[in-house]
Amino acid sequence: MSRNDRSAGSRGDRSSGKSSGRQGDGERSKSYARGNAPVNQNEKDPKNMSRGNAPLKKKQGGAGKSEGIRLNKYIANSGVCSRRDADIYIAAGNITVNGQVVTEMGHKVQLKDEVKFDGRRINPEKPEYILLNKPKGFYVTGSLEKKNRTVMDLVANASKSKLTPVGKLDTQATGLLLFTNDGALAKNLANPKNGIRQIYHLELDKDLAYDDLQKIKEGVNLEDGTAKVTEVSYVENKPKKEVGLEIKSTKPHIVQRIFKSLGYEIVKLDRVVYGGLTKKDLTRGHWRVLSQQEVINLTNI
C-alpha cells in the first residue's frame, strides 16, 4: 500500500466516525454551547424565564420571604467595625439578636430584629443626626391637609436615610428640633422618665404676675402630676410678658399647660436650647449636621 493510499484510508476512517458538526452528509449537528442548551419543556413558559432566557429557579421556602442580611455585614454597615472584625466579635459572644447570643458564622438577620453589640443596640444604616431651626407654621407629626407643610419638607435633602423627628414641637412653635435614624437614641431622648434640658423663650398674652412666677418655680399641679421647672425668669430688658423657662420634662404640651393652668396663653414659643444644642449660626428654616462631640454628649444624657 502506497503512502497516498494509507493517507486516504486514514481520512476515510475519521470521516466514518462521530460527526464534528461540520461533516456527515452536509448536516450540522446540534451545538450545546452557552445560549443553545436544551430547555426543559416545563420551563418554556415565558413567566418562568428571567432576563437572558435562562430558567428561573423557584425559591425554596415561603414565597417572597426575605432571606435577610448576614450578621457580620449588618454590624459593619452600622459603622461599629469591619466585616472581618465583626466575625471575631460574633465568635466571642459580643453580639445578641433579639436577646439571644449568636456565635454562628453566616447567621442572617432581618432589619426588624434587635441587634446589640456589647449591650447597645446598633443600626445597619450609618447613624445620622440633623438639627433644624424650625419656623412657625410647619407640622411635626403630619397633617391630613395636603397643602399643609411639615418639617420633613425642610430636611428632605439632608439625608437619604429615613429620618424622624425626636419628640414634638407645636405647629406654631419655633426653634430647635432634632432628626435622626438612630432609633435607640431617639427613644432615650423622648422618654419622659429620662428628661432632657430645654430652654424656651416665650411671649404671653399679658404680663406674668410675680406671684405666678413664684408658683411656677415651686411647681404647678396639673392633671398628670406636678410640673417642675429648673428655672423661670423674666427676660432682661423686655416686657414682663416675655419669659425664659428651663425644663427637663418631655411631656406633651407641658409648657403650654403650665401657663394655661394659671390663666395665660402663649403667643410665641421658641425652643432655644435642646440638650446642650443651641441655635448659634443656625438661621430659621435651615438645618445642620451634628458634630461627633455633640452626638457623644447626647448619648451620655
Active site residue: 13, 85, 113, 170, which one? 170
Number of domains making up the chain: 3
Provide the pLDDT for residue 24. 44
Checking if the pLDDT of 125 tops 50, the result is: yes
Q: Is the dihedral of CA 21, 23, 24, 26 positive or negative?
A: positive
CATH number of the domain to which 157 belongs: 3.30.70.580
Checking if the pLDDT of 291 tops 50, the result is: yes
Q: Is 290 found in the same domain as 236?
A: no
**CA angle (180, 186, 189) in 5-degree steps:** 130
| Annotation says 170 is catalytic | yes
Q: Is 290 found in the same domain as 262?
A: no
Q: Is 295 found in the same domain as 186?
A: yes
Burial class (CB in 10 A: 0-12, 13-18, 19+), 86: buried
Q: 156 — phi, psi (to 5°)? A: -60, -35
The pLDDT tens digits for 167-195 are 889 999 999 999 998 888 888 898 878 88
Q: Is 232 found in the same domain as 107?
A: no
Q: Which residue has the higher pLDDT, 101 or 122?
A: 101
How distant, in Å, are the alpha carbons of 65, 107, 109, 165 from that of 61? 8, 17, 16, 38
Provide the pLDDT for residue 143. 57
Decide: 214 and 262 in contact? Cβ < 8 Å: no
Q: What is the domain range of residue 246?
A: 198-274
Q: Is 162 found in the same domain as 108?
A: no
Does the pTM surpass 0.75? The reply is no
Provide the pLDDT for residue 42. 47
Q: For the residues 106-126, what does the mean pLDDT come to?
A: 87
Q: Is 174 found in the same domain as 208?
A: no
Q: Is 111 found in the same domain as 173?
A: no
Provide the pLDDT for residue 29. 47
Q: Is 225 found in the same domain as 113?
A: no
Q: Is 269 found in the same domain as 285?
A: no
Decide: 121 and 95 in contact? Cβ < 8 Å: no
User: Does 45 fall in a domain?
Assistant: no
Q: Is 284 found in the same domain as 266?
A: no
Query: Worst-scoring range by mean pLDDT, 7-21, 214-228, 244-258?
Result: 7-21
Q: For the residues 65-93, what does the mean pLDDT come to?
A: 86
